[in-house]
Structure 1
Amino acid sequence: MMAQNTTAKIAAELGFNEIGIYFYDVKTDSEDELSRRMDGILSGIANGDIVFFQVPTWNGITYDKAFIKKLKAYRDVKVAFFINDVPPLMFESNRYLLSKVINLYNHADLIIVPSYKMAIFLKNMGMTVKKVIIQNIWDYPTEAYLEEPVLKKYINFIGSPQKFDFVKRWNYDIALRLFAEKSDELSGNIIFEGWQYTTNLISKLSQGGWGLVWSEENYTKTYMEMCTSYKLSTYLAAGIPVIVPKGISNEQLIKENNLGIIVDSLDEMIKKTEKISIDNYHQMAVNVHRFSFLLKNGYFTKKTLLDSVHALLREKTDEKTNF
């Protein structure tokens, strides 16, 4: 929800008008009621418009299909799907829905995907959309007060112990500074910060240390190689260097800009962080500060949206967008 709302706000700066889609229990609507509700939502659409549809809406695949059917009834409307997440790849229990989700994507004139690897995967699984734009990373606009980060003997992590089991087994000398709801399952060297809202979270993260993006659950790890982590952008916007697993979709971006360290295991992470000098950490923090300027000003979202508009206005695809 935060990422979708942020995208809508950044788009408004470029002159886009927002189409507000509500998240609710769709089953409470009859077919006629749902149709009328969608008519109201789409009342501002005109023939020939370009529409960006952020998916999923989290109202279910049936809702999303009905919405696109309504939208496609307008003459000469071009629809770009902005894929925020792919539920069948997020949760193994939803894998059976993948063919239905890809069938939905095939109604788009253009697809925005988190990574090149995601584009190739979807194509191999049956996606036929030719025009594809790569998002690369989430933006994170914030006006929160940020400190100048310093090397501290802890690693920041945002995530519930119920979802990330490694948190429950944290017994390293370097502490895990955890931002999550309190849990009785926690033990070991953990600094518990509780769940923090955006402004407080960013301010606290900016105090220093590292920002960890990690999962040891195989299905989630595979998804991390294709999706774009909002958690990663949160750390970078706060100004702290990151620790990420090899193979993550943003690996090359992190490496080229020297924004943190890339490791194969938590044990390797401990060894590498122990060897980092204050000067080396400071240089990484300087690099992150420069890079975060782009995130905090919506650069990547603006570029993604404008590139998509240009691609949709061209009659034929070219090498940059043709998959």
Structure 2
Amino acid sequence: MKGYLVSTKLEKNNNAGSKAKQDIETILFKTGLEKLSLIIPTNRVERVLYAIKVWKKAFNGLNEGLIVVQYPLYSKVITKQLVREAGKRPNVKMMAIVHDIESLRIDVNHEDAINAEINLLNGFDFLIVHNTKMKSWLIEHGLTIPSEVLGAFDYLSDFSVPIQRKSGNVVNFAGNLAKSSFLTKITSTDVKYHIYGPNPQKYSAVLAYKGIYSPEQLSEQFASGYGLAWDGDSITTCSGVYGEYLKINNPHKVSLYIRSGLPVIVWDDSAMSDWVQKNNLGLSVSSLDELGDIISGVTDHQYQIYTENARVVAQRMQQGLYIREAFTKLLKNQSIILENYHG
């Protein structure tokens, strides 16, 4: 059996998609998976018309194999048609690598949307999901197919992690600042914040806006301190739709910080809190109000332990070990042997 990875791109759009998806493509193509290219029309009406044709063309002569999709695709219509077309071929298996659960991230607590998305995911044969909490949430809401846990997103970069990082009270935050409304409520002078990303808002003087950089450039900007993974509209907890989503989600920015050699700060009720603590990669806190006292209590020796552990994990991320190990484990558990695969 051969393995195929669907590589998607919007028509008339030079953007190759998110870095997380690009990195997974690069890693899995190196393991021997073949590319199945998919150009998706920008116009939504055209997508409906295109959905049937694209997969019939893609599946032409393909009656056996494993097809891997990075979910979600740009279009639910095209995803549904993919599942239908693959279902007509009993020797074709479908795997989805989950990046986002849209019904929870966008339509939070909307039961109909959640049920529809779970039904769509059940149309695949197997999943790779972020973490055990996401896996449990999916099963609780009706997922019936086998799934494997990723653990953390890999992060490919030419950046060389410094042997030592400076400790101190600097907290770095990178992301879409328009949805990071908690930043506008930070006023404490115990911590210095360096923030990066588009759509900056009006902030207090303790926050220094550092500009917009590509994912590849960001690592070079982090000179010291920690990387913060926080979301929502409060500094005392992670609240709102985006904050709640952290309970099952692996933020890609955590991988950015670790790959840059920075210890991380995460919400103690987030899905990544256990992973950060298990690997001794930084701090898990319940409120940003606590940060000044907590950071001041970290000794230089403890900070260097965090950075040493970050270097080890950064090397794993650079080698693509998280997706490779999850993918290989799922194949083994399902007794699938792929031609030319060397995970």
Please indicate, yes or no, whether the TM-score normalized by the shorter chain is above 0.5. Answer: yes
- Once the two structures are overlaid, the 10-residue window that deviates more, 139-148 or 229-238, is 139-148
Structure 1 residues 87-96 or 230-239, which shifts more?
87-96
Which residue does 1:142 correspond to in 2?
Answer: 157
Conservation of the 8 A alpha-carbon contact between 2:175 and 2:197: yes
The 8 Å contact of residues 248 and 271 in structure 2, kept in 1 or not, is answered as: yes
| Higher share of residues assigned strand | 2
- 1:64 maps to which residue? 79
Q: State whether residues 146 and 203 of structure 1, in contact with CA within 8 Å, keep that contact through their aligned partners in structure 2.
A: no
Amino acid at match of 1:204: Q
Deviations 1:117-158 (A, max 9, x none): 2222212212221x2211111000111244342113310001
The 5 Å alignment of 1:66-105 reads 66-92=81-107, 95=110, 96-105=112-121
Could you tell me which residue of structure 1 aligns to residue 333 of structure 2?
311
1:151 aligned to 159, 167, 178, which one?
Answer: 167
Identity level (%): 19
Moved more, 20-29 or 153-162: 20-29
Q: How far 1:58 sits from its partner (Å)?
A: 2.5
Mean alpha-carbon deviation: is it higher for 271-280 or for 229-238? 271-280
Structure 2 Cα separation of the partners of residues 33 and 314 of structure 1? 31
Q: How far does the alpha carbon of each residue in 1:64-112 deviate from its partner, in whole angstroms, 9 at most, with x for none?
A: 1012212222341111121110111112368342111111111121121
Partner of 2:69: 53
Residue of structure 1 equivalent to 2:14: none
What is the deviation of 1:38? Answer: 2.9
Distance change (3 Å), C-alpha of 1:182 and 1:90: closer
1:4 corresponds to 2:21: yes
Q: Distance in 1 between matches of 2:201 and 2:91?
A: 56
Q: TM-score, normalised by structure 1?
A: 0.89
Taking the aligned partners of 2:230 and 2:49, their CA distance within structure 1 comes to 45
Name the counterpart of 1:253: 275
Please say if 1:236 is aligned against 2:258.
Answer: yes
Distance 1:293 1:265 in 2: 30
Match of 1:271 among 293, 314, 334: 293
Q: Which has the higher mean CA deviation after the structures are superposed, 173-182 or 9-18?
A: 173-182
TM-score by length of 2: 0.84
Cα RMSD, aligned residues only:
2.1
Distance 1:181 1:32 in 2: 35
Query: Where does structure 1 differ by over 4 angstroms across 4 or more consecutive aligned residues?
Result: none
d(CA) in 1 for partners of 2:323, 2:186: 36
Q: What are the equivalent positions in structure 2 for 1:109-128 lying under 5 Å apart?
A: 109-128=125-144
Equivalents in 1 of 2:181, 2:336: separation in Å?
A: 48
Aligned CA distance change for structure 1 residues 228 and 30 (closer, same or farther; 3 Å)? closer
Instruction: Report what 1:297 is aligned to.
Output: 319
Counterpart of 2:78, as a letter, is: Y
Name the amino acid aligned to 2:62. A
**Mapping of residues 173-192 of structure 1, within 5 Å:** 173=189, 174-192=191-209
62-71 or 94-103, larger mean C-alpha shift? 94-103
Q: Structure 1 unaligned runs (5+)?
A: 316-323
* Matched-pair contact (CA < 8 Å) for 2:47–2:77: no
Q: For structure 1, which segment, 143-152 or 154-163, has the greater mean C-alpha deviation from structure 2 after superposition?
A: 143-152
Q: Which runs of 5+ in 2 are unaligned?
A: 1-17, 232-237, 338-343
| Structure with higher helix content | 1
> What residue number does 1:161 align with?
177
Q: Distance in 2 between matches of 1:64 and 1:182?
A: 31
Aligned residues: 311
Report the more deviating stretch, 234-243 or 248-257. Answer: 248-257
Report if the CA contact (8 A) 1:26-1:63 is conserved.
no
Q: Residue 167 of structure 1: CA displacement?
A: 0.8
Give me the whole-angstrom Cα distance separating, in 2, the residues matched to 1:13 and 1:261.
34
Residues in 2 aligned to 1:190 and 1:122: alpha-carbon distance in whole angstroms: 37
